[in-house]
Each structure stands twice: as structure tokens, then as C-alpha cells.
Structure 1
Amino acid sequence: MKKKAKQPEMKQDIKNFQELIAIMEKSDDFKQVDFGNVSAIKLYYYQSLINTDKLHTNLLPYCQQLTIHAIEELENVLPFDDTEITADLAVIEEKILAGFIAVHLQNDTTNILLIPAKFETDRDVAPPEIEFSVIGPKVAFIEDLQTNINLIRKRVKLPQLHVKKLKVGKITKTTIAIMYIEGIANPDNVQTVIQRITDIEYDQIMDSSFIGQMISDNEQSPFPQLMDSERPDRVSSALIEGKVAIVCDGSPHVLTGPTTLVEFFAAYEDYFLTWHIATAFRIIRIFAVMFSVLMTPLYVAVLTYHYHIVPGDLLGTLISSRKDIPFPPILEVLILELTIELLREAGARLPTKIGQTIGIVGGIVIGTAAVEAGLTSNVLLILVALAALASFTTPIYRIGNTIRLLRFPFIILAQMWGLIGVVIGVMFLVTHLLRLTSLGRPFTEPLFPPRWQDLKDAFVRLPFNLQGKRPIYTSSEDQNRINLNKTKPKKGKRK
């Protein structure tokens, strides 16, 4: 039996600086500049990664005019911050690939001076596109790690706000920043996040979504177990509540945890409105989600098995709308549901203006043609459109995808066993949610386990003066949020 040939290793074992340079110079965008006649200095850098203005303005004049005998002399005269002298090949390789210029003095065979000259291509801070709010700040995260940390620090002005940076990804070496407030965040939550991210062994981390999936308590669940937000104010509020934030370089979304299911139905704009209005909107969202998941399965169950429970007046309308339909309710529902999903995917993948046109015109044309052709009933068309509209009420995009997926198992169960099948589906769903955790904390809190204190900001949002404690599920070290003796403003006295 022949042995399999050993696969060559992706990364070579580099023993010295010259071997590293020999590998890098195989790329056409890797440059070397030699000042041997003046000061015996050599520069190494990737032209595609550095800012050439910094090179020509702040570095080359010093290299051309000065005679340098030690690498420390050059470091002291250069107008750069965050320079570093090192002999560690791993650090040198990492820095050059991150947009640093390596300076090598020919009479110094060990130390290399690394100068930051990264070419910045990040976009400007812009309004949020997914979690847009009419009232409140119009600022969203971008793809630059330092900018995102700055947006959070501007809102949380505390020396206790700590940042721990990790490198993840064997090839991408993506920087991940873990943020928390010492004295408020539970150390167990912080250590859990650090440990799980440290244990990741994957070659590429391109977005915070990779991290969210890899450190989830249950990777098989369709429910997101970490909150994903593009709003700095929402992330800052989560940190103050005692949560941990995960900022990924190159991603405009920040993860926070632990979280709960109810939190995915709370828009941050709720805190900018009076508590009466915010509570009404939250209740509307929750009922909209239930309607979106259960409406079409109930239609299939009732028309297939339980038509006798339909009131007489409504039954006549259903019969007249379906009298020429050649398909059973299950096929009728699946055709319309898949059509809605196709329109939604097409609208999301096409350019913005074309996508909007396809969504509106396509929905009207296809819906009208399907009813006139006798392929579906007009009653079902209305129900499917309302269910699709209700799924858009969730303020967090990821939970909306989950709701879209849940509808189809419920439709199949309704076809198999009618209302009993729908009840079985609800029981499986509730059991799954009860078993879920977020960073080891219960996902269905405050309903299970019941914690009445957290209900003040769950399905309803009570006034701020009644929310004197931080959420229990975060296990915050400092539970007090406000001084209860000073929550009510004093009435002015008449003179």
C-alpha cells in the first residue's frame, strides 16, 4: 500500500531576515530602496500598502541627508509615532504586511526599524443603513477598527473601559478587539469571550459574522446568540449594562453579549421615545413576528383539516376564492412563499434603484397574474403579503432571516397533522429556545428563568426612573444603575 505524498506546508519556515525578503521580493509590488552611498540604509515595503506621500515627505529626505551609525539615531529624528525596533521575524513580517516600512542598517545585522505608513482607504462615518432611526444619532460603524473604537470611547468616557486585542486567522491575522468596562462587566463573561476567540483555529476571519458563528453556544441553532449592531450608541449602552463587545477589523458591525431573545425585538430608537409609545411599538413587533411565522401554516391547517371552525360568512369567501384553484393549500402556499423569497433575494442582490423597482413591480405583476390565472387565491395572496411585511418589523436583520426560515417547517407540519402539527412545532421551538444560552447565560430570560426585574425593559419599556438596576442576566458586578433617591426632579417653589 502506497503512502500518500506529504502535502507541502503553506508557510515556509523563515530563519533570517534575508530569507523573508527573498520571499517577499517575488511580488512585483514589493520595493527596495538602497541608500548605500550615504548612510548604508535599505528600505523594504509593499508599494500597494503604504502611503507614498509619507515615504517621500517624512522618510526619504532624512535617509538621503543624514549619516546614520545606529538604528536608534534614525528612530529619534524621524517624525513618526509608533515606530518599533525589533529582531523578531514574526513581528517584522506582520508589520510589513500591515503597511509598515522596514528600515535595515547594513552595519546592524539583527535589528530592524519598523515605521508606520499605512495607506488609509476607509470610508467616512455615515448614517446607519440597517438600524436607521428617525430620532437619535445618525452615526454607524465603518470597516476601520480604530475608528470604531473611537466612536465607542467618545460615548463611554471612562478609564475603566478596557480594550484587549487578539490576532485571529492563520492567514488573515485579523485584529479582534474585546471591549468591556472593569467593575461593571462580569469577569467570567470577559474570560469566556477571550477564551473562545483564542481557541479559534481558522485561516480567515473576514467579518464579525465569522466570530459570531464560531463562539456561539450552539452553532446548530438558526437563532443568533450574540447581538449584532452597526450603531455605536447601542453598543455603548450594552457596555454600560455590563456586556462585552467584540470589534472586528474590517467589519462595520460589532457583536455584544450576553443577550436575550427579547432584545432582538427592541429597537434602540425605543429609548428616544416616551415609554408609552415605545412599549406599544415593541408589542406590535412581537405580535407581527408571531403573525409572520404562524399565519400561512394556520391557513394550510384550517383549509386542509379544520374548515369547520371557520365562521360561515368567512367560509363562503374562502370557497369562492378557491373554487377554480387546481392546487391543494400546501402547494398554493409554497408557491407564493417561494415567490416572495425570490423577489426579496433579487431585490437585495441587484443595485439599489433596480432592486426597489423589481420588488414593487415584480410583486404587483406576479401577484395579479397569479390570481387572474387561477394559480392562487386572492385571500392567500393578502395573507402572504402581510406575513412578509410583518417579518420586516424586526429591528435586527439577522433575526428576520431566522423568522423567514421558521415559516417553512411550520407549513410542513400543518400539512401533515393540521393544528396539532402547528402545536407540535411550537413545542419544539419553545424547547429549543429554553435550551439556548448566550455566553452561558439563559437566552429566554426574563421569561425563563422568571426575573421580574428585567421585565421592566423587555416586552415593555418602563420609565427610566423605574429601571434602577442593570439586567440580571449580565451578572454585572455593579447592579445599581441610578440613585433611586434622586430620580425624581424636585418641583420648583413659587416666589
Structure 2
Amino acid sequence: MRRRSRNKTSKNSYFPCELEKLEKDLKDGFFNSSPDFSTKKFEHEDQRILVMFINYMVEKEQIYRHIIELIQQSNEQWDPIMLKNRIPISDGELRTAVKDIGGDLLGGSVAIYIEGQDQCVTYGVPQLKERNPERAETESLIFGPQISFTESMQTNLNIVHWRLDNPSLVTEKFVIGNEIPSEVRLIYLKDIADEENIDEMRRRLNKLQTDDVLESSVLTQYIEDNSYSIFPQFYVTELPDRFCYEIKEGKLGVLVDKSSSGVIAPTNFFSFFESTEDLYTRWNMGSFIRIMRLIAMFLSVTLTPFYVAALTFHYEIIPTALMVSLGHSRSRVPFPPLLEALILEFLIELIREAGARLPTKVGQTMGIVGGIVIGQAVVQAGFTSNILIIIVALSALASFTVPSYLMGSAIRIMRFPLIIMAGLWGFIGIFYSYSFILIHVLRQQSLKRPYFAPIYPMRPKDFDNSIIRIPFLKSNYRAYTNIPKDKKRFEEPPKKKKYDIEDF
């Protein structure tokens, strides 16, 4: 029975075949007769051996030292199992399909085939050109580790394992992409992370069908709960310390090969206003900064719409002294407040985008000089008032206090529909817009978890893990929002005995 089964497999398999046929099929099917597809043939005694690789994809020194020299100097009768056990590079793979061999070669492997055998051996020897971990650019910190992720999956995994030296750390591998496969890793602590979260993220990654995954932020757009929402539902970070801290809290991390950022899930609205720098400062300073960011976010989306609504419909709420100043400032402005505000907001966004796309030193100069020159010019030309310049500048500064670039961008975009609603219906339009935004945020989910927690549903015990900070010795419970298996970070220490000054 076994002999019949082996004969049947051999009959239906591509192998055995001649070396010339395998070489031709690979060239025609995968490399389009590319000159970078290199082959070397060896003959000794009654064996013919073919070694294949792509020049710019492999470490040639390893191939010549560990494979070619070994085959040339040995007079043994080789077979695939012997090759797999004797070549000291990495774990070899036995392939029986041309498609698998071509995929391995494109991934930086060398393939070895012995004519007449029913298997081909491939070894991964990729030539990796990667940069060293450097200082984070988009999420700069004053205190704490300055290192950032790189585009190399191996380097990023090394950093994560170095920071999370825990035997319960799990890294699951996924390959996503029909045309250009990319390696994706799901990372979590199995003793802390919730199984439902893990299963949901695993299901979304397995279900994903796309040609390729360009970057971590692209992956989030494929797997997020609501792709039509302006608010980001997963946190994308380039900081390994933020990434590892969230994993220790019971969340999941996702890394994508060739991407210099990681994904954190599930995430709530208030997570985008947190920074690991809040942990490195004292608790009262950390709480003050977090609350200040939330206030700044509210002011950023409120100041300009209130200006437009007040000058269009609600003059009565403006103090008399300020009304005189406003009237004098707007005496030369030919546009209504709505159009005036939209023009100035658009100019601010134009300067910001130009400064971000230019080289660092030029971009900083462009932002400062452009803002001063253009601001002064539009006031003198009568396109806008001095007071609106101040209001728009404050709104722009407030939006930059958000640590997350994606959330900061969402806040800046929200200002435009709010300004339009304020110009059309005044305060009624503003509060109608606020109600719509609030209802939208309350309905959002992140990995099927409530997006506006701990406000909705109300969980006061989680406030110290999101809105404010309390001393570390008092913060011995992980956030319930993440549904961690192990809810306690540590046992609560015994209370310190209080001494009176007379006791000393």
C-alpha cells in the first residue's frame, strides 16, 4: 500500500525533472528571463546539482562559503535530506512545487536541486539592508527612551523581546498579501490579554484579502471597525516603549514587516491624548498635561466657530468694549465672517502642510516666516481681522498638543464643517454638530470594545489609566476596559505609618 501511494505521489508531482527544465520554468514563470537570476551547475561522478539564487537578494558570501565550497569539495552522493542536515546556514525547507521554490527565491533564499530527486531544498539567506534604531521623529519625547522602530521586522521583534522579557510573550505570524506577501506579527502576553480580543484580531487578519500591505497605518484601515469614521480606532506608534507598555496593560500589538511603526488595539478615544512621557514625569504633572490636552482639543474645535457664530448671528454676547475693537478690526474686511474664517483656516493648513513636506530646517523656517509674513500681509490687505488671526493661531497651536498625528489631523479637519455650520445657523448649528460628533463617538468601537470608555460606559476606576494619573503605588489595577485576565499589576503595599514631627 505504501509503495502504491509513493508511486502515485511521484507521478503527480513536478519532480523529478531535468535541471534545464527546472531552470527554464523558473525563469519564464517568475523572473521573466531576468539577468539577476543566477544558476550554477555542478557535476561529479553520476550526479548533477543546480544552485539557484537572485543576485541582489542574497548574501553571496554565505552561499559560496557554506554551499558551493561544500558541494565542490565533497565526493559524496548527495540527497535532499543530507543537504538539509549538512549545510550550516539555517533551517532548510523541502519543496516539491515550482511555485514554492519561486516564492522562496523572491524572498531571499537559495535553492538547491539534485537531478532525479523528488524534492528541492531552499535556505533563507536574505541580504538585509536596514537602518539602525534612531530617535523618534513624529512622537518626540523629552524624558524616557528615545529609540524608535525601524523597517526591519527582526530588529523590531528584538526590541520588543528586549523590553518585554516575559515567558508569556506570544508572537503569532501571519502572511498577508496576494501579490506581494508581507509578514505580520500579532504580539501579546497570554497571561494578561483577553482571549476574545485575541480571537477577534486573529480573525480579522486571517480574513483580510488584499494585494499587499504597504504599512502599519494601511493595515489599520483594512481591519478597523468603522472605515468611514474620521477618528482613528487603532493607535499607530513608532515608540517601542509605548508599544510595550500597552501590551503589559493587556492590549494587543501588531507589527508589519517593512514598517517603522506598530499598531495597538483595542484603543479608546482618550488613549490618543496620552503619552508615555506622562508616566516619566510626576503624577500631578502628568495629570495636568493630560487635562490640558483635552481642553486644548475642545478649544481647537470651538474658538473659530464661536467667532463666526457670534459675528454672524449673536452680537449680543460680545462685550461692548470688545465690540468696538472688533468693529474697527473688521472695518476693511470685505468678506462675511464665514468666508473670512474659511480662507484663513485654509491658509494655516496650507502653511502647515508645506512645512511638513519640506526638509526639517527649511520647513521650520517656512512655518515661522510664512506665518508671520502672510498673517501680516492679509491683515494689511484687508482680507481678515487681527482678532481672527489670533483665534486661528490659538486653534492651530491647540491642535498640535495631541500626541497622535492621526487624532490631531482629525481635529483640524473637524473645524471646517463646524465653521460652516456656525456660519449658517449660529450657535444652534454648533451645538447640533457637537451632538452629532458625540453620538458618533459613543457609537464607535475598537476591536468591538467601547471607544469612549471610561466615560461611556462609565467606569470611574479606569480614570487613572486614561484621563488622569495617580501615584504608581496607588495604581495597582489594570484598566477594566481592556478586560485583562490578570487585573492586578501588583499587590497593594501596606500603608505607611504616619509620624508626628515630635517623634523625631
TM-score by length of 2: 0.91
Counterpart residue number, 1:481: 489
1:96-127 CA deviation, whole Å, 9 max, x = no partner?
1110000111131x211111210111110111
Q: After TM superposition, give the deviation of residue 90 of structure 1 in Å.
A: 4.3
The reply on whether 1:209 has 2:253 as its aligned counterpart is no
The reply on whether 1:238 has 2:246 as its aligned counterpart is yes
Q: Structure 1: which 5+ residue stretches go unaligned?
A: 1-13
Q: After TM superposition, give the deviation of residue 209 of structure 1 in Å.
A: 1.3
The structure 2 residue matched to 1:91, chosen from 100, 104, 111, is 100
Whole-angstrom distance in 1 between the partners of 2:479 and 2:435: 27
Q: After TM superposition, give the deviation of residue 378 of structure 1 in Å.
A: 1.0
Q: After TM superposition, give the deviation of residue 486 of structure 1 in Å.
A: 5.2
Whole-angstrom distance in 2 between the partners of 1:276 and 1:235: 24
Whole-angstrom distance in 2 between the partners of 1:486 and 1:111: 66
Q: After TM superposition, give the deviation of residue 91 of structure 1 in Å.
A: 3.4
Q: Structure 2: which 5+ residue stretches go unaligned?
A: 1-12
Higher alpha-carbon deviation: 245-254 or 60-69: 60-69
Seen in structure 2, the aligned counterparts of structure 1 residues 248 and 486 have a Cα distance that, compared at 3 Å, is farther
Q: Secondary structure at the match of 2:134?
A: coil
Seen in structure 2, the aligned counterparts of structure 1 residues 444 and 487 have a Cα distance that, compared at 3 Å, is farther
Q: How does 1:21-420 map to 2 (within 5 A)?
A: 21-25=27-31, 26-37=33-44, 40-67=48-75, 68-108=77-117, 110-420=118-428
Q: Which letter does structure 1 place at the counterpart of 2:100?
A: V
Whole-angstrom distance in 2 between the partners of 1:471 and 1:144: 32
Q: After TM superposition, give the deviation of residue 157 of structure 1 in Å.
A: 1.2
Contact 1:465 1:487 survives alignment (8 Å): no
Counterpart residue number, 2:26: 20
Higher alpha-carbon deviation: 149-158 or 270-279: 149-158
Q: After TM superposition, give the deviation of residue 144 of structure 1 in Å.
A: 0.9
1:64-121 CA deviation, whole Å, 9 max, x = no partner?
212342123333332212222232444323221110000111131x211111210111
Whole-angstrom distance in 1 between the partners of 2:400 and 2:249: 27
Whole-angstrom distance in 1 between the partners of 2:311 and 2:379: 18
Contact 2:189 2:248 survives alignment (8 Å): yes
Q: Secondary structure at the match of 1:176?
A: strand
Whole-angstrom distance in 1 between the partners of 2:188 and 2:126: 28
Counterpart residue number, 2:451: 443
Q: Which letter does structure 1 place at the counterpart of 2:69?
A: P
Q: Secondary structure at the match of 1:228?
A: strand
1:459-495 CA deviation, whole Å, 9 max, x = no partner?
211111221211111111111111013586999xx99
Whole-angstrom distance in 1 between the partners of 2:407 and 2:429: 23
Contact 2:182 2:257 survives alignment (8 Å): yes
Q: Which letter does structure 1 place at the counterpart of 2:107?
A: A
Higher alpha-carbon deviation: 125-134 or 351-360: 351-360
Give percent identity, aligned residues only: 36
Contact 2:188 2:251 survives alignment (8 Å): yes
Q: Secondary structure at the match of 1:395?
A: coil
Q: Secondary structure at the match of 1:163?
A: strand
Q: Secondary structure at the match of 2:57?
A: coil
Whole-angstrom distance in 2 between the partners of 1:452 and 1:91: 54
Q: Secondary structure at the match of 1:469?
A: coil
1:131-186 CA deviation, whole Å, 9 max, x = no partner?
11111111111111121111111111112111111111101111110011112111
Q: Which letter does structure 1 place at the counterpart of 2:68?
A: L
Q: Secondary structure at the match of 2:473?
A: helix
Seen in structure 2, the aligned counterparts of structure 1 residues 77 and 461 have a Cα distance that, compared at 3 Å, is same
Whole-angstrom distance in 1 between the partners of 2:316 and 2:143: 48
Contact 2:27 2:37 survives alignment (8 Å): no
Contact 2:27 2:34 survives alignment (8 Å): no
Whole-angstrom distance in 1 between the partners of 2:79 and 2:281: 63
Q: Secondary structure at the match of 1:418?
A: helix
Q: Secondary structure at the match of 2:51?
A: strand
Contact 1:44 1:102 survives alignment (8 Å): yes
Whole-angstrom distance in 2 between the partners of 1:57 and 1:390: 60
Seen in structure 2, the aligned counterparts of structure 1 residues 52 and 297 have a Cα distance that, compared at 3 Å, is same
Q: After TM superposition, give the deviation of residue 230 of structure 1 in Å.
A: 0.9
Whole-angstrom distance in 2 between the partners of 1:217 and 1:423: 27
Runs of 4+ in structure 1 off by over 4 angstroms are 14-17, 486-491
Counterpart residue number, 1:7: none
1:288-341 CA deviation, whole Å, 9 max, x = no partner?
111111111111000000111111111111111101111111111111111111
Q: Which letter does structure 2 place at the counterpart of 1:397?
A: Y
Contact 1:167 1:176 survives alignment (8 Å): yes
Q: Which letter does structure 1 place at the counterpart of 2:239?
A: R
Whole-angstrom distance in 2 between the partners of 1:185 and 1:55: 42
Contact 1:36 1:42 survives alignment (8 Å): no
Contact 1:161 1:182 survives alignment (8 Å): yes
Seen in structure 2, the aligned counterparts of structure 1 residues 231 and 487 have a Cα distance that, compared at 3 Å, is farther
Seen in structure 2, the aligned counterparts of structure 1 residues 487 and 234 have a Cα distance that, compared at 3 Å, is farther
Seen in structure 2, the aligned counterparts of structure 1 residues 188 and 90 have a Cα distance that, compared at 3 Å, is farther
Q: Secondary structure at the match of 1:34?
A: strand
Whole-angstrom distance in 2 between the partners of 1:489 and 1:171: 66
Whole-angstrom distance in 2 between the partners of 1:466 and 1:69: 66
Whole-angstrom distance in 2 between the partners of 1:132 and 1:309: 41
Q: Secondary structure at the match of 1:36?
A: strand
Q: Secondary structure at the match of 2:131?
A: coil
